[in-house]
Structures are given as C-alpha cells and as structure tokens.
A and B are shown apart, each in its own frame.
Chain A
C-alpha cells in the first residue's frame, strides 16, 4: 500500500465517522434548539434556529399546568435514585466479597444461580412482585426500589465487582487477615479502596438506569406527588388540550442534562465498566 493510498483511506474513515457522528447527535442538537422555539416553529419547518431565543418554554414547562412543579419531580427523582445507588453499592460489594474471597460449600452453584438471574427477564416477575409489594404495603413508595437494592438484587453489579475483586491479589487481604484483621475490616480497609473504580462504574450505571427507568416506576408509583421525572414527562403528553411540545422538550432536556454531565465527569468509569463486564469471564 502506497502512502497516498493510506492517506485516502484515513480520509475516508474520518469522513464516515464524522458523517455518522453528525447524524447521531443531530436529534439531540435539534432538541436543544427546539426548546427555545415557539410551539408552532417546531413543526413544518426546516429552520434550525429559533427566530427569537426565548426561555419561555423552560419557565412555563418547569411550572407545569398541574399541581406540582418540576422542582418537586426533580427532588422525587433524587430521593428515588440516590438511596437506590448507595444501597446497591453497599450490598453488591459485600456479596461480591463473599463470592470472590471465601470458599464455602455450594459457592459454585450459588454463583451459577447469580449468573442465571442476570438473564431473568423483569417482565416475568413484575406481576408477582407487584402483588407482593401490594401485600407489604410498599406500593406507591420508593421502598419498591430501595429494598431490592439493599438485598443486592442487581446481579449485574455483583458480577462486575466479583470480576474486579478477582483481579486484586488475594495475598493483600489474606495476609492482613492472618495478622488478625477481621474479615469485615479487611474488606473495608484494604479491598474497598482498591475497588473504587468498580464502585464508580457501578454507581454511574445504577444512577443512569434508575433515573431512566420507566417500566417499573410506571407500575409501582401512582400518586402525582411522588412522580419522578420519567412519569411526569409521560403524563405531560397525556393531556387532552393542545400539547405545548416546546415546553415538554425543554423539560425532557432538563431531565437528561444531569446524565450527560455525569457522563462527561465519569467517562472513564463508564468505558471501563462496560469493558470489564463485556469481556468473557
């Protein structure tokens, strides 16, 4: 291959990548601009930029026409998501420690069960879960999220942390243990600091998934006062009167903004998280 040919190839590769990139990002770009337009401007026109920039859609959208403003929905979302993330981290890391560092009887079988539950579809268990939560009186509360998180019902994260712990030399914590350090202290003082990247990845993903989750919240949470963003947005397109799409888009944008910020802040951990779990064993 001559140098010229190689150069042409590189140019073609860049061209493909850039064109695809533009197509990929265009919808989001358009969404941002749509938030500054009037409702009429959004439709039937190719114009990208609004004729006059206005924050009206944000202000009116935030206030909503209903009882609660988006301040409430935002607060609700955090109240739902943050404890879920924290509980997931604590429980999943402890369970992962149990799997990665101890050899009790039946461990391999249990680990296989864990892997099997990775593939357990949510749709199959949602109805009995609903009636279980109903009997426990948990419906319409965030306990429907918090308690399963407290009991490590997210096999994905357990698996991810087991993988990570396996990469940390056993001698580190076992020699500390031989020196009389209790197993929980060994974990907290020696392994936990080393586990940080995995904990970051797990918290980012759990934050993202719980934040975006609609299927479960839609079933478990009924009262408007407890709606997270996803339900509030969905409710806003349900109204019978003329829908103010610019306001809805503005609130949609506001709802995904924290995710995008989080992503840019923790990019490395996203990529590493996907890479460690995606790789075979």
Chain B
C-alpha cells in the first residue's frame, strides 16, 4: 500500500517536472525577443560607443575617443547635460508632488470624485503625442493665448519659447500638466491604507501633519518610490516635446541629451558617438537611481 502510494507520487513528480518544462517554452517567446531586440542591442551599443561608426561604414575601434571628445571638445555636451538635468529635476519632483497633493484632496470622500479623476487623467492620455506638443507651441507663442491673457491682466508678456531662460521651463510645464497617471497610482495606494490606523491615531489625538508623516506617507512610500524611478527614467530620455516645440532652441537651451543623441546619430550619422552619449545618459540614470535606492532605506516602508 505504502509502496504503491510513493509510486504514484514519483510518477506524479516526474509528470509535474515535465509539465514545468513546458513553462520554459512559453517563456522562451520572450527570451528570444529579449535576446535579439534588447540584450543584443544593449551590448552592441556599448561596443559601438568605443568605435567610429556611421551607418555606411563598419564600426572601427577607437578606444575611449568618443568619450574623451564628449567631455573635452564637444561644447554642446555639457549644455545638453545641464538642460537634461534641469528638465529632470523640475519635472520629476513637480509631477510627483502635484500628483500627490491632488490625490490627497481627491481621497477625501467627496462626491463626484470619479468624474474629477477622469478629467485630470485626460492630459496624461496624450503624453508624448505630437498633437499636444503643437498645441503647447501655439499657446505659448509670442502672440499666443497665454501672452494675450497676461497683457489683459497688465502683466508684462514673456517670450516663453523665444527666450533661452524660459523655453525649457515651458516644456517642463507640458510634462507636469500630464500628472494624471501618477495621481491615479497615488489614489489607488491611498485607498489601501487601513482605516484602522487612522482611527487609532485619532483616538490618540494625533495632529493632521503627524498623521500624514507617520501614517499616510509611510504607507504610500513604496508607490512614491516606484513613481520617482519611472519618471526619472522617462524624463532623462525626453525627446518629443523638445524636438517638436523648440527643436532644441533657442540658443540650444532645450537641446536635451535625447535630442542631441538623435541629431548626432540620424542627422550626422555619427552613430558611435551618439552611442557614447546614450551610455552617459544611462550612467546618469544609474547614479540617480542608486542614490534614490540608497535613500529609500530611510523613507520607504515595506510592510512585508
């Protein structure tokens, strides 16, 4: 009897082992795709960054020349890096803080919240869309609507896109305008906070700010963290708005790294050089992400 039982178990185990192997077949769809369209380009990109490579000639090894040139000879590079970092440091915290504040207000059980949430989400639908970039360009033109509004209010008009001081900021505004998806994430996270925690705090007579910093924020910190990292990766690569609205100008004020990379690679066909730029962008991403990770121990709370 006992023998018989183990026999079935062994047979069963073999059977499951075989079944589990079929799992690998399913996963291999992705494995092939990942290897060909992600891993191979990733490694090749690093290799290209050490070569002189245009699309018409074979890559030719030049060692670290591309990197040396970027840091010593290319006057545009530091400017692009500055524009990219400025864009990132304005849009990422701007978007996340704004999304959090609105989510906190919407989380109060107000009537019609679902409607409002929907309306706030609409601009995010259009993120990266050329149509919205064009709209921004028209709104912020010298004789566009925004300036007309300012002059009626007797506020001096601003050369939003025409001046190097404000052009980048105007593009940042477009990004912050699209805070809806972050807000929806925050709202979902806020709903998950157990009400018992708030009740207990109220019984103890805790202040509002104390409740926010000791209960609400810790409970949604992991979502905040996730949001920050995803936004960071996106912001450092920004391309469409800078390309469509200002095309890098005026005086290269919005010539972000994404745009520089595109121009070098697909206008001048300096592919190797552009790869080096992309790896510096990647390095910036890694450094900023690691900094976030390092600080996360201090402020991100995981309950498991």
B262-304 CB contact bits vs A (8 Å, 1 = yes)? 1001100001001100110110010001000000000000100
B240 with A152: CB separation less than 8 A = no
Distance A209 CA – B181 CA, assembled complex (angstroms): 13
Segment of B23-31, B75-83, B209-217 in the binding face:
B23-31
B121 at the binding interface (Cβ < 8 Å): yes
B192 at the binding interface (Cβ < 8 Å): yes
A280 at the binding interface (Cβ < 8 Å): yes
- Residues from chain A with Cβ under 8 Å of B159 in the complex: none
A interface bracket (residues with beta carbon within 8 Å of B)? 35 or more
Distance A137 CA – B128 CA, assembled complex (angstroms): 28
B106-122 CB contact bits vs A (8 Å, 1 = yes)? 10101000001111111
B26 with A151: CB separation less than 8 A = no
Distance A173 CA – B35 CA, assembled complex (angstroms): 30
- Residues from chain A with Cβ under 8 Å of B184 in the complex: 270-271, 274-275, 278
B110 with A24: CB separation less than 8 A = no
A85 at the binding interface (Cβ < 8 Å): no
B34 with A153: CB separation less than 8 A = yes
Closest chain B CB from A253 CB (angstroms): 7
B interface bracket (residues with beta carbon within 8 Å of A)? 35 or more
B122 with A28: CB separation less than 8 A = yes
Distance A155 CA – B33 CA, assembled complex (angstroms): 11
- Residues from chain A with Cβ under 8 Å of B237 in the complex: 121-123
A278 with B36: CB separation less than 8 A = no
Of B23, B110, B233, which is in contact with the most chain A CB atoms at under 10 Å from its CB? B23
A259 with B44: CB separation less than 8 A = no
A40-65 CB contact bits vs B (8 Å, 1 = yes)? 00111110000000000000000000
Segment of B62-70, B88-96, B129-137, B193-201 in the binding face:
B129-137
Q: A27 and B226 in contact (CB under 8 A), knowing A13-B105, A102-B26?
A: no
11 example contacts (A-B, Cβ-Cβ < 8 A) are as follows A24-B119, A27-B136, A92-B30, A95-B29, A102-B26, A127-B274, A151-B30, A209-B128, A211-B129, A270-B184, A274-B181
